[in-house]
Amino acid sequence: MIEIKNLDFAYKADNVLKNISTDIKKGEFVGIVGPNGSGKSTLIKTMAGILPVHKYSVFINERDIHSYNHNELARNIAYVPQSEQFYPVKVFDAVLMGRKPYIGWAPTKKDHSVVIRVLKMLELEDIALSFLNELSGGQQQRVFIARALAQEAGILLMDEPTANLDLRHALDVLQLLKNLSDTGITVVIAIHDLNFAVRYCNRIMMLNNGTIFSQGGSEIMTSENIKKLYKTNVKVFQQDSHVFFIPE
Amino acid sequence: MTDLIHRKYKHYIRRKLLFLLAVIVLLVVFFFIGLSMGSINIHLKNILYSLTGLADYQDSVIVLNIRLPRILSAIVAGIALSVSGAAMQSLLRNPLASPVSLGISHGAAFGAAFAIIVLKGISNANTNFPVSTPYLISISAFFWSMVNTLIILTIAKLKGARPEVIILSGIISGSLFTAGTSALQYFGNDIQVSSIVFWLFGDMGKTSWNKFWVLLAVTIPATLYFIKNRWNYNALHAGDETAKSLGVKIGKVRMVGMFFATLASAVTVSFFGVIGFVGLVVPHIVRRFIGNDERFLIPASALFGGMFLLFADTVARVILSPVILPVGILTSFIGAPLFIYLLIKNIGRAYND
Ligand SMILES: Nc1ncnc2c1ncn2[C@@H]1O[C@H](COP(=O)(O)OP(=O)(O)OP(=O)(O)O)[C@@H](O)[C@H]1O
Ligand SMILES: [Mg+2]
């Protein structure tokens, strides 16, 4: 699905991503964790085709990302940025933008029904005709997630999708993403909340200073690893099959 | 519930279509009013006769040779300026972008001054009846405003087509040309300087059938290009990164769009002089009615701009008749109160203000 081989990336002189290699399989739900500035957003943008990468470093469905044209890539990968400028447009129209890679002259019935379906999935029916700029931060974030879902892509990349959401909506969105990954959609998110990450993702990728510090299941979430990553002491608890963390 | 959203949305879209229709109707009405009004008023019946070749000689000459090219030019010039303004504002995500703020008018003004003073575009400069060579002036104006475009797009290309770079280079390049115009004026004689000032007033009286056809040949492809790219422009509202992830080729869309927008406005300014306000404010007026959706914003700006400039030019022809004012003086006088009225009355909530 997404294969990264020895990826280096620099905005200016210094490499922000250093020799990243990973192989994300179809239907995986990957959570990227790591301190601020460790390169989570940058890594997601290189997978989304937003930042220019070297040839032979990022492969989507076994094809070099360079070999995709713009619309084709947008039909395969949907991306939600960490923050997005919002503008006065109705929620329905904002979500309809997710259909852009498919729309020729005008949106079809199918485009409209996809929009309505994802509006429902994110409980946005009631505000479908409100202006995006008049919504709360969490509502806006859900609109952007809805737009990404409307792309009907096999790969979903979301940069901190739950950052602005209240507890219930955060859990709902994560559960939704988990359900989608169960249907074979590959999901990669950046996320700060370790409890959420370990509970919903089936792979955690720890990023530190532009390198993959460790990746794997909940077994890598040890207090030593977390201490190395964040320079903070946390206690790891296990109850039933759940792992959770509390700062000391 | 599903049906309800869909129905509401359809209703919302229908309102926009209605606005488009209303503008088209107004455009047609103003077209006939424009043909009929002037120093001699011509009855609607005789206008129709003239258009179909049945009128007497005098009416036909006035309608077909004098008023028709002027009216059609005003419509197309209005379309060119407004649609370019709308496209620039979207491409650059900046509400202040317009043919004027990007220095296109300044480049053209410099070109006109250059033609008049350096190329001696105004001959017999020492008599009281200077004879101007309008094509030389227009060509020079066009050339220099495209130099301005070239400067902007070259800098933009070097800096990855970032909106703020394009706007800044437009402003800087524009002020460079303004300085150049001032310098030329300093060396010109009184008649040359007043010719420059006079040229600067946007005036549809400078039109001819040839100019009309050239303008049309530029405006149609530009407008069609913008319409074709309406989904790309919609996506650009969400920012470059999101637009890219939705399949927009940012660099190409922005550069080619800017090229068409500057080309159409440069031709307009070179032919008719500086017509302020239209390119900047018409898209904003239209947004108040139908919002930011480029599917409607682009065609509606085009039509509203054509209608607006035609209206303004007709007022300019009749308000102090037989004196004909340059329309460039009137556009702001008519448009600014209209815009303020819409703003204060809160008409249209479609745009953020
Ligand atoms: N556009 C840019 N130009 C230059 N440097 C950048 C740019 N964007 C990010 N960086 C740098 O790249 C590094 C990684 O940034 P990135 O946004 O990927 O971090 P992150 O892990 O997403 O952080 P956060 O948790 O704060 O979102 C940082 O040092 C940052 O300063
Ligand atoms: Mg980030």
In chain B, the domains with their CATH numbers are 2-352 (1.10.3470.10)
- Cβ–Cβ gap B9/A77 under 8 Å: no
ipTM over 0.85? The verdict is yes
Alpha-carbon gap, residue A106 to B243, rounded angstroms: 18
Nearest CA-CA partner of A79 in B184, B246, B341, B97: B246
Q: What angle do helix axes B68-91 and B209-228 make, rounded to 10 degrees? A: 30
Q: Give the model confidence (pLDDT) of A15-39 as tens digits.
A: 999 999 999 999 999 999 999 999 9
Residue of B2, B3, B5 to mutate, testing the A interface (most A Cβ within 10 Å of its Cβ): B5
The average pLDDT across A147-163 equals: 96
- Interval between CA A11 and ligand 1 midpoint (Å): 9
- Interval between CA A95 and ligand 2 midpoint (Å): 23
Q: Is the dihedral of CA B48, B30, B87, B219 positive or negative?
A: positive
Q: How far is A57 from chain B (nearest CA, A)?
A: 19
Q: How far is A123 from chain B (nearest CA, A)?
A: 12
Residue A206 lies in a domain: yes
Alpha-carbon gap, residue B88 to B105, rounded angstroms: 15
- Interval between CA B293 and ligand 1 midpoint (Å): 32
Residue B249: its chain A contacts at CB < 8 A?
A: 70
Q: Which two tokens stand for residue A93?
A: 């129209």
| Closest-lying ligand 1 atom to the alpha carbon of residue A210 | 14
- Cβ–Cβ gap B2/A73 under 8 Å: no
Domain, as residue range, for A50: 2-82+152-247
| 15-44 in chain A: CB under 8 A from chain B | none
Grade residue B62 by pLDDT with cuts at 50, 70 and 90: confident
The gap between the terminal CA atoms of chain A, to the nearest Å, is 39
Beta-bridge partners for A33: A206
Q: Give the model confidence (pLDDT) of B151-192 as tens digits.
A: 999 998 888 778 888 899 999 999 999 999 999 999 888 888
| CA geometry: angle B179, B183, B184, nearest 5 deg | 120
- Closest residue in A to B291 (Cα–Cα): A89
Q: Which helix (H) or strand (E) holds A246?
A: strand A242-247
**Among the ranges B18-27, B133-142, B323-332, which has the highest mean pLDDT value?**
B18-27
Nearest CA-CA partner of A204 in A55, A191, A18, A58: A191
Position with higher pLDDT, B30 vs A164: B30
Q: Is the dihedral of CA B353, B77, B273, B229 positive or negative?
A: positive
For the cut 50, the answer to whether the pLDDT of residue A91 exceeds it is: yes
| Closest-lying ligand 1 atom to the alpha carbon of residue A45 | 18
Report chain B residues touching chain A, CB-CB < 8 A. Answer: 1-2, 5-6, 8-9, 12, 231, 234-235, 237-239, 241-242, 244-249, 291-293, 350-352
- Cβ–Cβ gap A75/B247 under 8 Å: yes
Q: Which of B1, B241, B352 sits opposite A50 (nearest CB)?
A: B241
Q: Which ligand neighbours the alpha carbon of B240 most closely? A: 1
Grade residue B333 by pLDDT with cuts at 50, 70 and 90: confident
Residue A185 lies in a domain: yes
Residue A74: its chain B contacts at CB < 8 A?
A: 245-247
Residue A189 lies in a domain: yes
Q: Which residue has the tokens 């390198």?
A: A211
Please list every protein residue whose CB sits less than 6 Å from any atom of ligand 1.
A 11-12, 16, 34, 36-42, 82
Residue A176 lies in a domain: yes
Q: Which two tokens stand for residue A119?
A: 């509006």
Ligand 1 atom 25 nearest Cα: A36
Phi, psi of A7 (to 5 degrees): -85, 125
Cβ of A228 under 8 Å from any chain B Cβ? no
- Cβ–Cβ gap B245/A78 under 8 Å: yes
Grade residue B127 by pLDDT with cuts at 50, 70 and 90: very low
- Total structural domains in chain A? 1
- Interval between CA B223 and ligand 1 midpoint (Å): 39
What is the residue type of A222? T
Please enumerate in sequence order all residues whose Cβ is within 8 A of that of A128, keeping only pairs 6 or more positions apart, or say none: A90, A91, A92, A116, A119, B5, B8, B9
Residue A27 lies in a domain: yes
Ligand 1 atom 29 nearest Cα: A37
Q: Judge contact between B312 and B330, C-beta under 8 A.
A: yes
Residue A111 lies in a domain: no
- Interval between CA A39 and ligand 1 midpoint (Å): 6
Q: Which residues are within 5 Å of ligand 2 (an ion), measured at CB?
A: A 40-41, 82
- Cβ–Cβ gap A74/B239 under 8 Å: no
User: pTM of the full predicted structure?
Assistant: 0.91
Q: Give the model confidence (pLDDT) of B226-284 as tens digits.
A: 999 999 999 999 999 999 999 999 999 999 999 999 999 999 999 999 998 899 999 98
CATH number at residue A24: 3.40.50.300
